A and B are shown apart, each in its own frame.
Chain A
């Protein structure tokens, strides 16, 4: 029974971590969200309008399937949960290999690797003319350093080579983006579970602290607001320009501050945000919101911004330079190769420029084609 369960769990994990699952789930989110914009949604639409728009039979079905409140239905939220689980599974699944890749960089290019790498260049050296291994390596080191790399000498099996890389962290960029998504989900969940919204009615001169929530319940703010007057401003043509309420905050019986609440300029105090409602006439109605998960969401957004910046603009570049002696002819040459994990088309010209400058410095014959005539690049896993 142990192996049976283990195999089953493994199978579920494989499915959860697969990209196809992610694609299917995302498409489901798309379709269901779209449905929610087409079918009239319950809290926002008045009941009489619902009844006007749908026949009773259709309306019953829509209500039963919760299509009239898609975004708060258990299956939609469950779907979002599944998406989160898949993101976690897919990330964790690839993490070990990614970590290995990060923690143990491939510093010395073996022959097989050298054969198929693109882009690459081989320059013949002429030791008799004074261009020895050491000269060539030194020239390469200088060229790399001049372009902002920090080449390190690598020794393997008696051979020495150069290795330089930049932005290794770029490999983690995708994880940052996915993490940010999870943060945003977490924030909205916290808000959904622990947050609340309501209306505070405040007549000029009065004091109030009780907020009437959407479901009819009451909530006390923990402090009091006294209205010092409200106002409106209109444009010359009569349209509304601004609505405001002047309030004094009273805590423990003492005035704790004054503020003017305008549309687009809420008052943020303690654990609540207080808004000037557009619906309220003469600034008598204030909307109050408690959003405990808000800061989590904003952190998630910022992290996503950073992550996207990393994904699109931070490229992991690796360069190798090794002297190679051909087994057949005994000729000495300098092999140079580079690799990026993204935007290969932009990298190639830069690599070629670097290789050319090294070549010119060594004043040798021009590049020979790589072994085995690999002329067009295979589509590799990197973009």
Chain B
């Protein structure tokens, strides 16, 4: 843990001012979450099964959300008791998660590694495991603040991908498959942890809060952009999956979600982009007015994003239901859209924790240098795993379809991820990059991992399409 730090730069100044007790926003967010979860609970009780996989998954989500909410509570109140309870909630979530894995494994007859739902399940489990390991063994108690939102986004996405357990197609009946996917999940989980550590390093390295605002805004923009881009089908190779189509002339076809979300999402997009724009404008000269605009648009952005989410859920609600899961959504709405919205909301909300409780966070986190080194060590673990993932994938591909390398988008992006982390290692070892530059690189690397994991399945096509 780091020594007591004298906060001389008052970084809170460039974030939104902490409201009195922070009640209003927290109450709103809490109510929204409660609404979502009670909808799920009602659905579940209606179906009757008590210890089914769905119930267990719902319990997992409940505990992860609880942990995230407790971290948020820490953000408002600042007392360490919240952290202790957050940790307990994480452990409970991990227990429930393990139960889901075990149950699915038992029912399917093979480990959960053969489609996107199962892969996500294992990935979320691995992230939770690494979180408690980091907390227990390395004393990094607030890593959950970043990994729990990741886990939540994963479970939200998973719940919408719920399919019946299918027997394995001939192509997937291979031990090499299990080895390959396990390695991939471990590698991605390690990259996720390095991402969390890099962010915590930036916090400890006194990076200004407004830079975090810019990063958060850019991240949210990227999510929204990918939703918008994937909604326009005519752009060559980009394709979404299973969406209803609406022609808007000149051969352009929009996917249903965009039409559904329309004005609310466009408004949210505009507001969400504002802090990033402010940062670009204020790069050299960060005036008070720009700060105020950025802060207000962040808060407004949270509200608008919540609104978009509500609109989406309302418009794709039970009346147009098809498919299983606790939140039946119409086939016309992609699960990635919902997950994307939830993720951006989580990013914005957790930025607030940073803005309000920067000093306490800096006290609770280990020293910057230690975080820098552990980030490097984590990537030293992730890189060989990535290499082995690609190697076993190539070997299995050769057994399955006679070609160890076909420049399939998933394969290509796996290599791109590998190259990015190879570049990180080169920059670090040979050029001597440390600290901030290395941390930014690690964050960029994880963005590539996310694209390789989801972006390829969501936006691109290829032989890996069954994943």
Q: Name A residues whose Cβ lies closer than 8 Å to a Cβ of B.
A: 19, 22-23, 26-27, 29-30, 33-34, 36-41, 45, 53-54, 70-71, 188, 197, 235, 237, 239-243, 262-266, 273, 275, 278, 287, 289, 291, 294, 297-298, 301, 304-305, 308-309, 312, 345, 379, 381, 383
Contacts and interface: CB of A to CB of B under 8 A. Distances in A.
Contact of B400 (A37, A264, A312): A264
Interface string B285-321: 0000000000000000000000000000000000000
Contacts, number: 114
B17 interface: no
B399 A265 contact: yes
Given A30-B419, A53-B234, A264-B173, 20 more contacts: A26-B422, A27-B423, A33-B416, A40-B236, A45-B237, A54-B236, A70-B407, A239-B169, A241-B170, A242-B173, A263-B170, A263-B400, A264-B170, A273-B402, A278-B170, A294-B398, A297-B394, A298-B395, A305-B384, A312-B380
Contacts of A308: 383-384, 387
B384 A26 contact: no
B283 interface: no
Contacts of B427: 23
Given A242-B170, A263-B170, A265-B399, A39 B236 contact: yes
Given A239-B167, A305-B387, A26 B237 contact: no
A343 to B, nearest CB: 8
Contacts of A309: 384
B434 A379 contact: yes
Contact of A264 (B174, B394, B420, B429): B174
B324 interface: no
Given A19-B430, A22-B426, A37-B460, A29 B419 contact: yes
B456 A379 contact: no
B78 to A, nearest CB: 32
B419 A19 contact: no
Given A39-B237, A71-B407, A197-B403, A262 B170 contact: yes
9 contacts: A23-B426, A23-B427, A37-B413, A197-B403, A263-B400, A275-B401, A287-B401, A379-B434, A383-B376
A289 B402 contact: yes
B166 interface: yes
Interface of B: 166-167, 169-171, 173-174, 234, 236-238, 373, 376, 380, 383-384, 387-388, 391, 394-395, 398-405, 407, 409, 412-413, 415-416, 419-420, 422-423, 426-432, 434, 456, 460, 462
B391 A37 contact: no
B387 A304 contact: yes
Contacts of A41: 407
A19 B426 contact: yes
Nearest to B390: A301
Given A265-B399, A308-B387, A33 B415 contact: yes
A37 B456 contact: yes
Contacts of A33: 412, 415-416
Nearest to A302: B391
Given A19-B426, A265-B399, A304-B387, A37 B419 contact: no
Contacts of A312: 380, 383-384
Nearest to A19: B430
B399 A264 contact: yes
